[in-house]
Amino acid sequence: MILPMRKGGSAGYDLAVLDADATVADYLAALEAALRLLPLTRTRKPAALPAGRGCNGCTACCAERIPLTSVDYRQLARVTSLDLLPQVADVSRAGPSVDIVLKRTPAGRCIFLNPETGLCRVYHARPFVCRTFICCPVSRRADELRGAVTNAGEDELARLWLAGGSVPAGVDPADFRSGAFTGRWGYREIRLRECVPSSLWRRLYQATRGKPPRRGGR
Ligand code: SF4
Ligand code: SF4
């Protein structure tokens, strides 16, 4: 459940999980509903662009790092018929980790951004990070949930990639264990509680038993 929140005069959101079996798809649906219903303040939109709730022509976040989950990859592969590598993703080593991100053009924009219209060419299959980013104030627990799901999904994509035999120096495939995304190819199949550490789950999950959920997550 998405809860309205204000910070420094700007409208943002907090998040509580009311169903122990809630999935990533439930989270995405709740956020999409909040986008329609809540007057969320876009804190990064240039002042020159039209005012209002929505992004209204701003594409600033389509020039940033977009990590991919294993489910994102499957969805993008389905709609674009492109190979993950080297057409869609850049893979790099980050210490003992592997970073797999959406490719950008030489101008630094996402390869799926239409520069003429400012629209996403894969909107219905855009990655989890794109679907969950709104440049408005967000509570700590909501931000941590987004990060935990992203990391779990990117680790699974890296695990699959490493299993294919491409192992860069300094990376140990044994560090990439099976997790919430393993063997699952849709966000409906992935439970939130399997993506997050127990300490975060305790802060997110509120069994309401008919009572209204507590606001103001840390
Ligand atoms: S969410 Fe992204 S596109 Fe929308 S206003 Fe914020 S930075 Fe711009
Ligand atoms: S996939 Fe679409 S929404 Fe995501 S960064 Fe690229 S153009 Fe923007």
Q: What is the pLDDT of residues 16-67, one digit of tens each?
A: 999 999 999 999 999 999 989 998 999 988 877 777 667 888 899 999 999 9
pLDDT given for residue 137 in this prediction: 95
126 lines ligand 2 (CB under 6 A): yes
Count CB-CB contacts under 10 A for residue 171: 18
pLDDT given for residue 56 in this prediction: 81
**Cα of 57 to ligand 2 centre, how many Å?**
13
Ligand nearest to the CA of 10: 1
**Could you tell which of 41, 43, 45, 64 is best to mutate to test the pocket of ligand 1, judged by most ligand atoms within 8 Å of the CB?**
45
Using DSSP, state whether 120 is helix, strand or coil.
strand
- Does pLDDT of 171 surpass 70? yes
Q: How far apart are CA 128 and CA 152, in angstroms?
A: 12
DSSP symbols for 25-89: HHHHHHHHHHHHHS----SSS-TTSPPSSS-TT--GGGGS--B--HHHHHHHHHHH---IIIIIE
* Block residue for tokens 């101008």: 107
Predicted confidence band at 95 (pLDDT cuts at 50, 70, 90)? confident
Percent of the chain, pLDDT > 70?
A: 90
**Could you tell which of 44, 59, 119 is best to mutate to test the pocket of ligand 1, judged by most ligand atoms within 8 Å of the CB?**
44
pLDDT given for residue 203 in this prediction: 95
Q: Measured between alpha carbons, how far apart are the two ends of the chain, in Å?
A: 15
**Cα of 137 to ligand 1 centre, how many Å?**
13
Ligand 2, atom 8, lies closest to the CA of: 62
Q: How far apart are CA 121 and CA 119, in angstroms?
A: 6
Using DSSP, state whether 3 is helix, strand or coil.
strand
The mean pLDDT of 168-174, rounded to a whole number, is 85
Count CB-CB contacts under 10 A for residue 189: 14
104-151 per-position pLDDT tens digit = 999 999 999 998 999 999 999 999 999 999 999 999 999 999 999 999
Ligand 1, atom 4, lies closest to the CA of: 55
